[in-house]
Chain A
Amino acid sequence: MTASRWRYLANGAALVTLLSVAAVVMHSAPDRELQQSPIRVAAALGEPASGRNIHATVHSVAVAEAVTAGNGWAGTTAGVWVVVDLSVEAVVDDVGAALGTAVLRVGDTSYSASTRPGDATVAAVGLTTGIALTGPLMFELPTDVVSSAAAATASLELATNSDPRVDSLLVVPVDLAGLDVQQSIDVDFPEWGVR
């Protein structure tokens, strides 16, 4: 075999190698969804947790058939209310810092915090830097969801933006299945400052 033929073979092998490496890189590199996904921060019930611009403590979680908010609003529902009591604050900056993401995830289904009680919850309320806002979040769920198998591994997701991509997302595991369904709950109006 002549030298030029060897050269052609070597060039071909180099090209195949290059294409193979490119294929591996293409199929193993993070896709756009993964690149822009939220930065999940594992948190625990009763323990403070911090992200880039959110600091929160989930104090308690309860399930009730009816709820009366701090502004007197009485919520009736065909399902049940999951009432979360938490403190939340911005860490570095209050511009655009509202509790925009407050989602209860049960299995593959997510439930946003209800805005029906108006200003009596901390959902979508503007936060301020270093000063905690303590109050309730209320989630309206179908009755059978809280007794489903997935309810034992539910999670509460919190972020200071309605679109938490490329930012911190606090994730608090919640065992809804282990909670008794109360007949009625009265909750306090949201309050600023040290409790």
Chain B
Amino acid sequence: MKGEVKPAGWLRRNHRALLAVLVLLPATLGIMFANQWLGYFDEWPSRPVPAAAGETIEYGNARWRVEASDRVLGDSAAGRERDLPTGTDLLVVTVAVDPTGTGPDGKPDLCSARLEESGGQHATRTWSNQGPISLDGPGPERTSCSSKLTTPYTFDAEFVVPADAGESSSLSVSIVVVEALPEYASLALD
């Protein structure tokens, strides 16, 4: 019949609501996932503050620098004195710390140090300072950060590594201060 208007279809009548669902549903899910992921990355050292070999950087409540790194070969006299396992070396990294402030507890930062190897033939590998292998002989006087010293000092981090560690790869020491997470200082070695 002339002039009769055909009723609009369901999709046409509800297109605004459908459009809102199409936009809001992914946005809601995105915000939920983003929150979870950001929380996850905030809990562990996931954001490096890099420093070239010998460079001083500000991190947490101190300035940090690798003062020296010394490799004790397992089959050397010094290596035998420390009773290094066959096929391993000892990497001693001297870190200079200059406290510039205190944490929420009013004390200078405590820290943990790890050795990281990247590149080369292996996947990224890491070692703990003072790992599970017990060594003989005289060790360093201070092996980690001090919560008492407010003046500049050094500590010697010791890492027992396979003899091929750092052979065709780069090594760095990661310094983690819990209060500064997720940032961590990544100090490159020579």
| Interface residue ranges, A against B (CB under 8 Å) | 91-95, 125-131, 191-195
* Cα-based distance from A95 to B132 in the complex (angstroms): 10
**A194 closest partner in B (C-beta):** B87
Tell whether, in the assembled complex, residue B85 and residue A129 are in contact, meaning their CB atoms are under 8 Å apart: no
Kindly name the residue among A92, A95, A126, A193 whose own CB sees the greatest number of chain B CB atoms within 10 A. A193
Taking a contact as CB atoms closer than 8 A, the residue among A126, A191, A194, A195 that contacts B132 in the complex is A126
Residue of A nearest to B124 (CB): A92
A-B contact pairs, 7 of them (CB 8 A): A95-B128, A125-B132, A130-B122, A131-B88, A192-B88, A192-B133, A193-B74
B178 nearest CB across to chain A (Å)? 14
**Are B125's CB and A128's CB within 8 A?**
no
| A92→B125 CA distance, assembly (Å) | 4
Q: Which 4 A-B pairs have the closest CB atoms?
A: A193-B85, A194-B87, A126-B132, A192-B85
Residues of B within 8 A of A (CB): 74, 84-88, 122-128, 131-133, 160-162, 164-165
CA A90 – CA B33 in complex, angstroms? 31
Q: Bound complex: CA of A93 vs CA of B132, how far in Å?
A: 12
Whole-angstrom distance between the Cβ of B4 and the nearest chain A Cβ = 16
**In contact, A129 and B126 (Cβ under 8 angstroms):** yes
Question: Beyond A128-B132, A130-B162, A131-B133, is A93–B125 a contact (Cβ under 8 Å)?
Answer: yes
Q: Which residues on A sit within 8 Å (CB–CB) of B124?
A: 92
Asked, given contacts A126-B132, A128-B132, A128-B133, whether A191 binds B123 with beta carbons under 8 Å apart, the answer is no
Nearest CB to that of A97 among chain B residues? B132
Task: Select one of B87, B122, B126 contacting A131, CB under 8 A.
Answer: B87
Task: Judge whether A128 and B123 touch: CB under 8 Å.
Answer: no
Q: Is the CB of A130 within 8 A of B125?
A: yes
A92-B123, A94-B127 given; 11 more Cβ-contact pairs under 8 Å = A94-B126, A126-B131, A126-B132, A129-B127, A129-B162, A131-B88, A191-B85, A192-B85, A193-B88, A194-B85, A195-B86
Which residues of A sit under 8 angstroms from B126, Cβ to Cβ? 92-95, 129
Contacts of A126 in B (CB 8 A): 131-132
CA distance A195 to B127 in the complex (A): 21
**Closest CB of chain B to A117's CB: distance in Å?**
18
Evaluate contact between A128 and B86: CB separation under 8 angstroms: no
Instruction: Give complex CA distance A125, B131 in Å.
Output: 12
Residues of chain A within 8 A (CB-CB) of B122 are 130
Task: From known contacts A94-B131, A130-B165, infer whether A193 and B125 are also in contact, taking CB-CB under 8 Å.
Answer: no
Given known contacts A193-B87, A193-B88, A131 and B160 CB-to-CB distance under 8 angstroms: yes
